Amino acid sequence: MVFELLINFCILFTFAVLSYWPFQDAVRSNFPFPKTHPYIIGFMAGLAGFILLETSVRLSDTILLDGRHVVIVISGIFGGPIAPIISGFIIGVARMFMTDEFTTTGLLAGWNIIIMGVVIGAFSFKYRMNFKNAHLYFYYATAQTALLIIYLTYPSMVVLSQVLYFVIYSAFSFFTVLFILIELNEHFKKIRHTELLSETDYLTGLYNNRKFHQLTDTYINDSTKPFSMISIDIDSFKKVNDIYGHPAGDEILKQLGKRLKDLVSESEGYVTRNGGEQFAVFIANSPPAMGLYLGERIRSSVASTPFLVSDDQEVSITVSVGVSSYPDNGSTIQALYSAADAAMYEAKANGRNRVIHFTNKKA
């Protein structure tokens, strides 16, 4: 019996990992069509439950021991309210048709699973299942099934041992799988956090220079349309730090990063902090005129709206902006970035708080 239960548990564990890996945000793969995920997970859980039924351990002529109700609870963690309803229906119908002819036990066991899936799904709509509260749904499923076992075997003397076997195996299966899944979840969160640290600026949350070049290099290799590069530098930022202190300077950098992200959506382009008080913006499908227009919007937004720092102090700053465009000012990201940088330094040399396109730069 132990060997058969081990096989049953391995099937349950395999389903849990397979349903976790492609469908969770913390992992690196992004399974397409997210709206279909609850239905896919529900179907996967139903299939897993069917296999669990086929590998169940027969405790008596009427009682089968397996992890079918555990798989329904696990599906609710990953698939939301829809998944337990679908999996419960599939497993319940499979239990009714396990034998060549209908039996009262099969019908009751099948309806038990169907009702269980519906109840778990219904409560999940209001109380979304997660790793923290899944045990409550498991207790309900275990208690309902244990009562059915008692009803089917009473007044047999073996009823207590059968219920005990069921509760022990169910608890072992559920809490072992749950523990492994929680550990996997934490592991992938740490991986994702490390990845984010390697591609984002710690202060502003914007892309760092390395990630920025990765994204823009991919774009220039795949696109034949014009685009613009914008280089932005805060004017006299050292003076700001000297007057208001470095913590206030950091707050200004954060707020400027947020303003830039608000002005440039992810569908339009990318924003990066390249270090210190210098930022860059990449705008897709943007000819020179559009690059200049956005550069002016950035400049005027910064100049017209002060930055609020600690102690409710308002700090006014300005930025110098340089713009370059593909293909007029370069055929590589490095060339375009250098051109935008050169235009930005000319804006500084001409009095700061202005926008210059590299094409209009004085030789």
Tokens of 59: 């405790």
Enumerate residues 6+ apart whose C-beta is below 8 A from 134: 73, 74, 76, 77, 178
CA–CA gap between residue 299 and residue 2 (Å, rounded): 72
Q: Indicate left, alpha or beta for 202 from its phi (over 0: left) and psi (-120 to 50: alpha).
A: alpha
Cβ atoms of 307 and 301 closer than 8 Å: no
- Residue 277 known to be catalytic: yes
Strand partners, 157: none
Cβ atoms of 276 and 257 closer than 8 Å: no
Cβ atoms of 79 and 71 closer than 8 Å: no
What does the angle CA 194 – CA 197 – CA 198 come to, to the nearest 5 degrees? 90
CA–CA gap between residue 227 and residue 229 (Å, rounded): 7
Out of 277, 296, 314, 346, pick the active-site residue: 277
Tokens of 145: 């099934």
Angle between helices 159-199 and 134-153 (to 10 degrees): 160
How is 31-48 classified by DSSP, letter by letter? -S-GGGHHHHHHHHHHHH
CA–CA gap between residue 228 and residue 292 (Å, rounded): 9
CA–CA gap between residue 73 and residue 133 (Å, rounded): 11
Q: Which amino acid is at 161?
A: S
Looking at the annotation, which residues are catalytic?
A: 277
